[in-house]
Chain A
């Protein structure tokens, strides 16, 4: 009896663990490490700063990280998003040069851990080369070379590895999505991140994460994911992956197949639930048997065949962009029909993934700090947040879609804590309570909350919480009088940040 949650912790993000002073001898030139390749691989240094989700008006301390990048066409450097996320300052260096160039993030895709860096000074590219992509996924068992600057180091390191598995894995940088990866048996070390993985001199992937408990297992972002990213940014903006939002049940069970009257010789899966606000809702219906996706017949286990390899049916969507369409053949009420599902990026209101480059939303009034529930917020619980946070918060977080809590509370707004002041002296210990209503207004979003306070005319602010808690009542005039003083005392420069 254990819970299959928190697989996040099983992953180890490479970049931030670079230990200065640890010298790893650079590997000498190998047969394949031609000058051409070496002059396309660059070292990246990033100074980053993350906002504080605990005191959302502040930033945390600076931190530094290093990684690798590869020059691709158009004077661009491709790397992993985590190498350059939350960046304040980026330096790019060529091997052996010692001259740093200033880089800027042109595109960053946290869900697939990829980014494009551009340089302010194009002269950087004068003595560099460009590597091209191999658009085939390498075969299992084939050899690849990993180029990079593990543990910093001035000179390039090349490691040889074998493609040992091609599978779906959580991309731990954002922990938002599962995408395809290549697993290789070469160790990927801190600093390798963002470096190219080559076969026959062409890029077949970008090294990006390691599996912590196992030794010598590295994960590589495959070409399909890279191409999806490059295709997505063609319009000058990264939109991200569309989500189907179909929860499927396999049809491996013969009785289940009989029950849904799956015709003899046909295979497929049952759409058991549709996630609110995702692409397929309203088009696919619960109980539909999905026979094929984009012409690919679906097995009873939910897999399809692409180029002779078996993939989960979502792989079709993995290779499409928002705005594309996917055609499904389904059986509904005994009739076989086709459905077109226009793919779109859903707006997910509960952020269950790691966020970067984002300013945390909050509202502070009378010392009461209100914030939306999110993964980043839960992580402010010290130590192992998954164990320690309040059970109500964890339930809302994990069962938001499963138990359709999203319908009641599209955004879960919390009284996260109280900055103690005279006006709130009887409430200064409150924390992590879910807001139900404010001044009689049901709260469905942070902006609802702000207007419920600001449009209120009575003498008291009355805040009601989800659960058996008594309300919190503040005197409106006292709040007005003391609010500015509280902001000053706690050095809060703005009383709110609310995204448009």
Chain B
């Protein structure tokens, strides 16, 4: 049995070349599990995932199924902690204990694509027999020796030594957003099968591996403090997620810029250059403000605060890691020559807050095929259909909006609804070949989300449907009367389902 190679792709910065981490071929079952049960305590369990992703290019189809493996840790709540990238788009999850010999079906209980974490539950309680839950330790320091726990193909647990070399706010794996990470020097030369290795120090979990570069021998770790907040965010009323600062800012090192802003000589700060609509910052901060302190921490000229344990850390950490959505934090800002204190009510940056969602949420893709015209919402996954070099090959308009406006839905355009392509049929004669256009109106009604198309089709104009696109205001006309017959014909011809 061969595992499919899983490619870990560094999503950010959005337009730098994709960086690949090792592909691993796992020969499971080729060697029988050997004892080593003395290390079971705290040890990882293996998670095998079968997955299938939506096909964004032909949205009525699914992509070829695949499989991947990773590690999980047993939580005291008798559930398994792992990364979201291991379990996303899963069709089946199987858990395997050290020692192997049996699979236990699992299912996703909580998943957060932002911080790349997930909790998996197991129906069969006997899975936990002999397994001890991990203890989470949020304390960390630079130079701290750590152990990456892996299971060899023989199902023997092995600890690979590493050392924490960096504690910083970096881009996360699935979403182009930043949270606290640990960086560790480690050589996975002998890496076992799977990903998301738990990382221990002094017998306690300090993080989970998010990505690894074999070339740099460097692993990025999701820290225990992010894990703890993730676990705490799963309330009885539902998962509340992580709060997001909601602005774009820059440091104020330049003395001329500081003079121009009339900033006091001793003050640092973050210059607010843009605010995401409906975000934490919206309505409180304004473009041109300088953020002087957050939650009692002074911000320096580079936008860092002084963490008592780790030194300088990007101030965005104060918004995401130390507080939950719904909480208020106090900020001090400099506006119009004055220092002001303001309260920011933190909120989550949800998938629904994106003009172009950067990740799929595992749900079926919404689309609509009418008269062979395929409509759907523009997403990062659609752009990725351009293949390996999608960041340079995809449609230039789409790339521009994804790169610079993905966070910026407008009330009248919450998503970009696009004409993917046209399935040729006699009803769309003369229109064929049109593709990758942004739908502005249907029957004169503005289109903001895919659902609006369906609604607008209830209001034909004199026996016709009129589709208006942004580019050159092009229009396509379909006759209402012959549509049902055409849609049936197209459905049969191309094996598609209209919605």
* Contact yes or no, A258 B397, CB < 8 A: no
Q: Given the complex of chains A and B, what is the CA–CA distance between A72 and B325 in angstroms?
A: 80
Contact A399 B397 (CB under 8 A): yes
Does B254 interact with chain A (Cβ within 8 Å)?
yes
Contacting A468 at CB < 8 Å: which of B393, B404, B477?
B404
Given contacts A258-B479, A272-B474, contact A473 B404 (CB under 8 A): no
Cβ–Cβ contact A392 & B472, under 8 A? no
Please name the residue on chain A nearest to B438 by beta carbon.
Answer: A403
Which B residues touch A391, using CB under 8 A? 15, 396, 399-400, 402-404
Which chain A positions have C-beta within 8 A of B273?
468-471
Chain A residue with minimal CB distance to B420? A1
Q: For the complex, what is the distance from the CA of A58 to the CA of B3, rounded to whole Å?
A: 57
* Chain B residues near A256 (CB-CB < 8 A): 430, 476-477
Say which residue of A251, A395, A468 sits within 8 Å of B248 (CB atoms). Answer: A468
Query: Residues of B contacting A384 with CB < 8 Å?
Result: 392
Alpha-carbon distance between A475 and B255 when the two chains are bound, in angstroms: 10
A-B contact count (CB 8 A): 122
The digit string for B456-474, where 1 denotes a CB below 8 A from any CB of A, is 0000000110100011111
Interface range on chain B (Cβ under 8 Å from partner): 35 or more
Q: What mask results when residues 252 to 264 of chain B are scored 1 for a CB within 8 Å of chain A, else 0? A: 0110110110000
Which residue of A2, A286, A398, A470 contacts B250 across the interface (Cβ within 8 Å)? Answer: A470
Chain A residues in 8 Å Cβ range of B393: 3, 387
CB within 8 Å for A392 and B473 given contacts A387-B393, A426-B257, A473-B257: no
B392 and A388 form a contact (CB under 8 A): yes
Q: Does B421 contact A (CB under 8 A)?
A: yes
Q: Which residues of A contact B475 (CB under 8 A)?
A: 249, 272
Interface assignment of B132: CB less than 8 Å from any CB of chain A: no
Whether, in the assembled complex, B282 has its beta carbon less than 8 Å from a beta carbon of chain A, the answer is no
B471 surroundings in chain A (CB, below 8 A): 399, 402-403
Given A1-B386, A399-B396, A426-B257: A467 touches B473 (CB 8 Å cut-off): no
The answer to whether A460 touches B256 (Cβ under 8 A) is yes
- Most central of A3, A469, A474 by chain B CB within 10 Å: A3
Task: Select from chain B the residue with minimum beta-carbon distance to A3.
Answer: B395
B332 within 8 A of A: no
Q: Can you list, as one digit per residue, whether each of A259-300 has a CB less than 8 Å from chain B (1) or not (0)? A: 100000000000011000000000000100000000000001
| A247 at the binding interface (Cβ < 8 Å) | yes
Distance, CA A478 to CA B254, complexed state (A): 14
* A394 located at the interface, meaning its Cβ lies under 8 Å from any Cβ of chain B in the complex: yes
In the complex, A339→B66 CA distance in Å?
62
Give min CB distance, B250 to chain A, whole Å: 4
Set A387, A397, A402: member contacting B392, Cβ < 8 A: A387
Q: Contact at B271–A470, with CB atoms within 8 Å?
A: yes
* Interface check A162, CB cutoff 8 A: no
CB pair B430–A394 under 8 Å, yes or no, is no
Q: Mark B383-425, 1 if CB is under 8 A from A, else 0.
A: 0011001001111110111111000000000000000110000
Question: Is B20 interfacial (CB-CB < 8 Å)?
Answer: no
Cα distance A250–B477 when bound, in Å?
Answer: 12
Asked if B329 lies at the interface with its beta carbon under 8 angstroms from chain A, I say: no
Chain A residue at minimal CB-CB distance from B465 = A255
B256 (CB) vs chain A CBs: closest residue: A475
Cβ contacts under 8 Å, B400 to chain A: 391-392, 394-395
| CB-defined A-B contacts under 8 Å, sample of 23 | A3-B394, A5-B396, A247-B474, A249-B474, A250-B430, A253-B428, A254-B429, A255-B427, A255-B479, A259-B466, A388-B392, A391-B15, A391-B400, A391-B402, A392-B403, A392-B404, A395-B399, A397-B396, A402-B472, A470-B257, A470-B273, A471-B257, A473-B260
Interface residues of chain B, those whose CB is within 8 Å of chain A, are 15, 57, 248-250, 253-254, 256-257, 259-260, 271, 273-274, 385-386, 389, 392-397, 399-404, 420-421, 427-431, 435-436, 463-464, 466, 470-479, 482
